Amino acid sequence: MKRISLAIHGGAGTLVKGMMTAELEVQYKAALKLALDEGYKVLEQGGTAIEAVEVSVKLLEDSHLFNAGRGSVFTADETHEMDASIMDGKTLNAGAVSLISNIKNPVSLARDVMENSEHVFLAGEGAMKFAKDQGYELKPTDYFYDEFRHKQWLEIKDTDSFQLDHSVKKDSKFGTVGAVACDVNGNIAAATSTGGMTNKRYGRVGDSPMIGAGNYANNNTCAVSCTGSGEYFIRGVVAYDVSCLMEHKDLSLLDAANDVINKRILEINGDGGLIAVDAKGNIAMPFNTEGMYRACKSSTGEEEISIYKE
């Protein structure tokens, strides 16, 4: 049997000691474990990488702990605008949505764009219209209310600044979620979902829904899901950069992912991390921040659920 693998993340960033309580840490790890186990079960039962990454990301979106789906941060207008994307490494099909609201699981809408539309990327009102045509029910806005996120927003709402959910020292919450998987047939896939940045405005969109920047999958190289300061990840075309280093420089998954996160993106001041798998089931989870919520599991017995640098 071929090696199956799954890796997930719940955001990378700075975590000030003392902000994270032992209790909260247990909650985060439990949420990661649930998403990991359920996604992995899909792979074990012979499901596809696409199915597995959707299952894992949906569970992370359903948790208020992460900045995606239910736990999405507040925009400058005190609303939630969510972005998500998904990509199939076997076919290079992809789907993405941006600036959507009241949708419980943005990653599923991204998958519907991939499978049930002729397009790759739908945004704003148009994406919402597509969701309606696909039969999506809208969640009431208070489903997305989280006291901590609201407090984060209140602190900067009258300023011009917008902030990464996890980049400010006093912030104990990380953000964006993602999953990458390699299934029993050696097909790989990636999915990413986020509420973006606190106090964002002007229709700001980060890297998460952008194929090549925050999310990418290609059976010949790797599947990648990123988290970090989106503006830098877009400019670094980070997810595709990992793939390019493998394709054109013949680097291994680990070397390519490390090179991008610990060198290339740092050179333009980008902070964050990524998770990646290749079609042999190898896993990489580098980050250049203090921590990254992350977990992985593979049929070789590898299993990890961590937050900080070991």
Q: Is 227 in the site for ligand ASP (CB under 6 A)?
A: yes
d(CA 275, CA 227): 9
Nearer to ligand ASP, 121 or 233 (CB): 233
Single residue of 105, 172, 193, 194 touching ligand ASP by CB under 6 A: 194
Residue 223's identity, in one-letter code, is A
Residue 258 one-letter amino acid: N
Residue 208 as a binder of ligand ASP (CB under 6 A): the answer is yes
By CB under 6 A, residue 215 contacts ligand ASP: no
Q: Is 176 a catalytic residue?
A: yes
94 vs 164 by CB, closer to ligand ASP: 164
- Other beta carbons less than 10 A from residue 267's beta carbon: 8
- The residue range among 50-58, 85-93, 207-215, 282-290 that interacts with ligand ASP, by the rule CB under 6 A, is 207-215
Catalytic residue among 14, 48, 75, 176: 176
Q: Does 207 bind ligand ASP (CB under 6 A)?
A: yes
Residue 230 is a binding residue for ligand ASP (CB under 6 A): yes
Looking only at residues 61 through 80 of this chain, which bind ligand ASP when binding is defined by CB under 6 A?
Answer: 67
Residue 206 binds ligand ASP, judged by CB under 6 A: yes
- Give the distance, in angstroms, between the CA of residue 265 and the centroid of all CA atoms in the same chain: 17
Site for ligand ASP in 164-193 (CB under 6 A): 164-165, 175-176
Q: How far is the CB of 274 from ligand ASP (least distance, A)?
A: 10
Vertex 69: Cα angle to 46 and 243 (nearest 5):
55
- Interacting residue with ligand ASP among 11, 47, 106, 270 (CB under 6 A): 11
The interface region with ligand ASP, picked from 92-100, 136-144, 203-211, 240-248 by CB under 6 A, is 203-211
Q: Which residue has the tokens 């940045």?
A: 197
Name which of residues 74 to 133 contact ligand ASP (CB under 6 A).
none
Residues belonging to the active site: 176
Chain residues that interact with ligand ASP, rule: CB under 6 A: 11, 67, 164-165, 175-176, 194, 196-197, 206-208, 214, 227-228, 230, 233
